[in-house]
Amino acid sequence: MKRSPKDLDGSHRLLTRRTLLLGGMQLGFVGALGMRMRFLQVDQADQFRLLAEENRINIRLIAPSRGEIFDRNGLIIAQNSPSYRIVLVPEDAGDVEQVIANLSRLITIDDEDLERARAEMRRSPPFLPITLADQISWKDISKVAVNAPALPGITPEVGLTRVYPLQDDFAHVVGYVGPVSDYDLSRIEDPEPILRIPRFQIGKVGFEAKREASLRGKAGAKRVEVNAMGRVMRELDRREGESGADTQLTLDAELQNYVQARLGRESAAAVIMDVENGDLRAICSSPSFDPNLFVRGISVADYRALTEDPFRPLANKTVQGTYPPGSTFKMVTALAGLENGLISPEETTWCPGHLEVSGRRFHCWKRAGHGHVNLLDSLKGSCDVYYYDLAIKVGIDRISEMANKLGLGVRHDLPMSAVAAGLAPNRDWKSRVHGQEWLVGDTVNASIGQGFMLASPLQLALMTARIASGRSVTPRLVKSIDGVEEASGEGAPLEISDIHLRNVRKAMFAVSNDRRGTGYRSRIIAEGMRMAGKTGTSQVRNITAAERAAGVIRNQDLPWERRDHALFVCFAPFDKPKYAVSVVVEHGGGGSTAAAPIARDLMLQALYGGTPPLEAYPASDRQKIEAQQERLERERLKRRESSGSDQA
Amino acid sequence: MSYLEYHSKTTPTGLRKILYLNWPLALLLAAAAGVGFLMLYSVAGGSFSPWVEPQVKRFLLGMGVMIFVAMVPIWFWRNISVVAYLMALLLLVAVEFFGTIGMGAQRWIDLGPVRLQPSELMKITLVMILAAYYDWLPGKRTSRPLFVALPVLIIIVPTFLVLKQPDLGTSILLLAAGGGIMFLAGVHWAYFAAVISAAVGLVSAVFKSRGTDWQLLKDYQYRRIDTFLDPSQDPLGAGYHITQSKIALGSGGWSGRGFMQGTQSRLNFLPEKHTDFIFTTLAEEFGFVGGMTLLSIYVLIIVFCVATAVSTKDRFSSLVTLGIALNFFLFFAVNMSMVMGLAPVVGVPLPMVSYGGSAMLVLLAAFGIVQSANVHRPR
């Protein structure tokens, strides 16, 4: 088509005009782009810079090392030891299954662990390390290290784990730690992020659990740069955490070990307390268990063995177990009577072997009766009728009040699991809990520590310590935290007349040192070490009238769980009391035969700070004691060796 | 016959043509490519492989192609434009049947050593044929319905084929560039007003109908449109790219975080950091200053093209130059809007800078035609 120059000129002008129009629009758009860039890069730069940093920087927690626990002499009770584990980085391994096969030729890997590791591998990116085996022995680790060239992607790693070198001795006191479980997390409101560190250990039971806050420490953190896949590119900086507070207990590991050995396989509990300041020197529940089992993850069989044992090794009988205190309670009734001016030490009561109270006959343990008894005789021979009579005069409320004053029926705040309050009942309590009126018969039962009355071995030791010192001492388990001494448990003087206390102590001295005292056979003859005590035998069954008529069945003829509990409390030296000891042997029979000999051995061990000389014992016992000392020495040596080899 | 052929005696001949190349334009193109090399070097973590080396080779080849195309008289290009368009169309149809799957879409034809992307070719040939058409059409007929319908058909057919691949970005570019040339050629503005208002009416009808009895699309289709328009609704899926891109841009600040110091790109938070999203790396490492520098280079390239177009009396030269400049503008405008979160994510590379197969070659060949128009301008 032919075009005229005029047409050309016209369309050229139009083209130029439209070009300028379109160009203007383009320029406008470029301006808008520039504004947008300015907005993002200048106005909002800080915000986006922050987002970029959040993108690339990850905070990783560093687990703090847990505070260690020592005994009063600096012996270690709970420590952190290196633990070795084997870690696989799938990305570096190449053929993962081949590497695992090579590894299992060197060391044994649990099938369960392997399954878990494989599942983890499928879920996580290939550069994240996966634990194949935990708590590996040093020997296995060396094997893996030596064969490293055949095991690409495998690295031995070292971490820290809790170890209790003294094994059974402190299982009930210190408890144990374990990895945080889902249950733990669900129980804690707003759990600290540190708890989400894999395999982080927290206190589960006992002191470890109660003092978790001070033992745990503060997590450190490191800032790492990660890429979009989450792979760590480099570490930017790190802040070390604060390790937990080291704690020194008042306990004496040597003594504790002796007590545990002395209690042996008996189902028993013993407490040794310093009467001056309330320091617990030993607090043992028997039988015990090895807390290290729980740290590693206890096997089902081991756990079943522990829970099905009738002697209840997992229970902490010293603070958690409560028993009718039996005759060891008589000091309380006596002091209540003396303090309220209802009896004088010389006043006597006639004991015919029983007492008729509102139509019901209450028996004394001695069928023939004690005859005329005063305060001293009543404790020495443990006459029940004397206390039945006294209790009716005093009334339960005043007895209960005295019991509380001496530390019974009161919960003592100790950093241990399930510390029981026991029970020193009064009228109010019975109407509140049982909705029934308090009966005179209840008072009669309570007077000799039976009926509703319940006390833990700790409380019994405390009661004895308060009687011995005349002060309101409180039990103390923690000596110092990070070198800072804790408050002493010395306490204020008891509001009990000194003369009355002295009379009761004198009577307790007679129990152990008078030929006719119930604890005479377990006396100490070393001068300046003389002991004052009180036996107790508490019934766990009712003796029917028919049985009483036919003759009470002897303890050794009863099944174990129906036998009487044997109790003994004592303090020594009599002239200047240092230690109070309580021993409860569950279903052990009589207090004088089952508990008193143990209490004497413990007391002597504490007083001498080691094996006592045979001269401290009455001559008739020395041969037997010598054999026992040798046996215990052997057993303790063997135990120490086995724990030693475990550490290596 | 056009204006130019009457005056062909006054155009330079032989090797003297080299002197008449628009050298400032060539230098600006080289500068843009240089920015590309720098950023490709950076995103590779300070290495010439895998991207810088092939990109440099491709650029040098492209410059060669540009000069070669520039040497050929502009009327030759006008005369072959119909054939070129038809061939490009044929190739587009061919990828429909023989195309290789790449990036989730059928885009390439494998011709042994060269992998050809016919849609790239179509961008130029469409501009060429439209320019030739309006060169041929007398001005007073430009707005007659029949003569408007023909170029519309010329534009719609390849646009539809590209959309079917599916390559939304390129088909938008084709449509916009084609429409732009029609506008420049002087088609009456009422047509554009009609089309735009019809489009606006349709879109608003689609959105207005939502949730009513006469809803035009299915619910899931609306949801898909929602995330397309506002990716922040889906921060881990479609929104992730755009969010990370904005973070990279914004964290650059005034002067950037320094060469090879961009954490977003170095740590792989940026998607497609060497292709479509390369601008964010530039903006992260060189900041507002760096971004504006590249934008200025682009604006200057367009200014030089417009200057060439306005100064020639040959209608084909003007239209083809403006069309290519418009194409170039659309390229970087869409890409930058996309990475700045102003437009939905469609796969459009940043011209001369993104690492890309045939894009740079084709672009430089296109600028060869611009240069040819400049060289063969009567003086």
Q: Are residues A190 and A334 in the same domain?
A: no
> What would the pLDDT profile of B259-305 be if each residue is shown by its tens digit?
888 888 877 787 778 888 899 999 999 999 999 999 999 999 999 99
- Tell me the mean pLDDT in the region B310-315: 86
pLDDT beyond 90 at A500? yes
Cross-chain Cβ contact A41/B263 below 8 Å: no
Strand partners, A238: A222
Q: Classify residue B1 by its DSSP letter.
A: -
Q: With beta carbons under 8 A apart, name residues in chain B contacting A36.
A: 340, 342
| SS3 at position A33 | helix
Pair of tokens at residue A355:
């007492």
- Tell me the mean pLDDT in the region A468-475: 95
- Residues A569 and A464 sit within 8 Å (Cβ to Cβ): yes
Structural domain ending residue among the three candidates A161, A179, A200: A161
Structural domain ending residue among the three candidates A137, A161, A185: A161
> What would the pLDDT profile of A133-166 be if each residue is shown by its tens digit?
877 888 888 888 888 888 888 888 788 889 999 9
Cross-chain Cβ contact B251/A22 below 8 Å: no
Cross-chain Cβ contact B333/A30 below 8 Å: yes
Cross-chain Cβ contact B267/A226 below 8 Å: yes
Pair of tokens at residue B153:
């058909």
**Is the N-terminal amide bond of A597 cis, ω within 30° of 0?**
no
Q: Are residues A106 and A232 in the same domain?
A: no
Identify which of B196, B339, B184, B54 has the alpha carbon closest to the alpha carbon of residue A36: B339
- Tell me the mean pLDDT in the region A317-338: 94
CATH number at residue A384: 3.40.710.10
pLDDT on residue A623: 93
The number of C-alpha atoms within 13 Å of A462 and in the hemisphere containing its C-beta is 32
Interface probe with A: pick from B1, B7, B130, B184, most Cβ of A within 10 Å: B184
- Tell me the mean pLDDT in the region A371-382: 94
Query: pLDDT band at B104, cuts 50/70/90?
Result: very low
Q: Classify residue A454 by its DSSP letter.
A: B
pLDDT beyond 50 at A648? no
A46 found inside a domain: no
- Residues B121 and B366 sit within 8 Å (Cβ to Cβ): no
Q: With beta carbons under 8 A apart, name residues in chain A contacting B326.
A: 22, 26
d(CA A507, CA A213): 46
Residues 6+ apart with CB under 8 A from A43: none
Longest dimension (CA), chain A: 154
Cross-chain Cβ contact B180/A22 below 8 Å: yes
pLDDT on residue A155: 81
pLDDT on residue B236: 62
Q: Are residues A387 and A506 in the same domain?
A: yes
A583 found inside a domain: yes
Q: Are residues A521 and A562 in the same domain?
A: yes
Pair of tokens at residue A285:
């529940």
d(CA A574, CA A572): 5
- Say whether residue A31 is in contact with chain B using an 8 A CB cutoff: no
Interface probe with B: pick from A4, A9, A11, A47, most Cβ of B within 10 Å: A11
Of B291, B310, B315, the CB nearest to A11: B315
d(CA A645, CA A455): 40
Separation in Å, CA of A487 to nearest CA in chain B: 56
| % chain B with pLDDT above 90 | 45
Cross-chain Cβ contact B183/A18 below 8 Å: yes
- Say whether residue A25 is in contact with chain B using an 8 A CB cutoff: no
Q: Are residues A155 and A188 in the same domain?
A: no
Separation in Å, CA of B374 to nearest CA in chain A: 17
Pair of tokens at residue B106:
């059928």
Residues 6+ apart with CB under 8 A from A40: A48, B246, B249, B250, B340
Cross-chain Cβ contact B250/A33 below 8 Å: no
pLDDT beyond 70 at B162? yes
Q: What is the 3-state secondary structure (H, E, C) of B121-140?
A: HHHHHHHHHHHHHHHHCCHH
Quick one: A122 exposed, middle or buried, by C-beta within 10 A (0-12, 13-18, 19+)? exposed
Quick one: A41 exposed, middle or buried, by C-beta within 10 A (0-12, 13-18, 19+)? buried
The average confidence (pLDDT) of chain B is: 86
Structural domain ending residue among the three candidates A249, A270, A287: A249
pLDDT on residue A162: 92
Task: Tell how far CA A625 is from the center of its chain.
Answer: 32
The amino acid at residue A342 is L
Q: Are residues A128 and A240 in the same domain?
A: no
Q: Classify residue A162 by its DSSP letter.
A: E
Pair of tokens at residue A2:
């032919």
A6 found inside a domain: no
| SS3 at position A448 | coil
Q: Are residues A209 and A265 in the same domain?
A: no
Place of tokens 């249950």: A183
Q: Are residues A124 and A195 in the same domain?
A: no
pLDDT on residue A317: 94
**Is the N-terminal amide bond of B166 cis, ω within 30° of 0?**
yes
Count structural domains, chain A: 3
Element (H, E) at A62: strand A57-62
- Say whether residue A234 is in contact with chain B using an 8 A CB cutoff: no
Q: What end-to-end distance do the CA atoms of chain A give, in Å?
A: 105
Query: pLDDT band at A210, cuts 50/70/90?
Result: very high
pLDDT on residue B108: 65
A392-406, A428-442, A592-606, B84-98: range with lowest mean pLDDT: B84-98
pLDDT on residue B56: 92
Separation in Å, CA of B252 to nearest CA in chain A: 6
The runs of H, that is alpha helices, within A264-366 are: 292-296, 300-308, 330-339
| SS3 at position A246 | coil
Q: Are residues A353 and A244 in the same domain?
A: no
Cross-chain Cβ contact A11/B291 below 8 Å: no
- Residues A435 and A446 sit within 8 Å (Cβ to Cβ): no
A527 found inside a domain: yes
Of B137, B247, B252, the CB nearest to A51: B247
pLDDT on residue A391: 93
A418 found inside a domain: yes
pLDDT on residue B275: 85
A191 versus B86: the higher-pLDDT residue is: B86
CATH number at residue A142: 3.90.1310.10
Q: Are residues A495 and A556 in the same domain?
A: yes
Cross-chain Cβ contact B302/A23 below 8 Å: yes
Range(s) of the domain holding residue A210: 58-75+166-249
d(CA A568, CA A327): 9
Q: With beta carbons under 8 A apart, name residues in chain A contacting B131.
A: none
pLDDT on residue A148: 81
Q: Are residues A377 and A415 in the same domain?
A: yes
pLDDT on residue A589: 85
A127-141, A165-179, A316-330: range with lowest mean pLDDT: A127-141
A462 found inside a domain: yes
Query: pLDDT band at A6, cuts 50/70/90?
Result: low
Number of H helices, E strands in chain A: 24, 21
> What would the pLDDT profile of A25-71 be if each residue is shown by its tens digit?
999 999 999 999 999 998 888 888 888 888 888 777 888 889 999 99
pLDDT on residue A144: 85
pLDDT beyond 90 at A493? yes
| % chain A with pLDDT above 70 | 98
A37 found inside a domain: no
Cross-chain Cβ contact A8/B315 below 8 Å: yes
d(CA A194, CA A77): 25
Q: Are residues A338 and A217 in the same domain?
A: no
pLDDT on residue B6: 60
CA of A188: how far to CAs of A175, A182, A192, in Å? 19, 10, 9
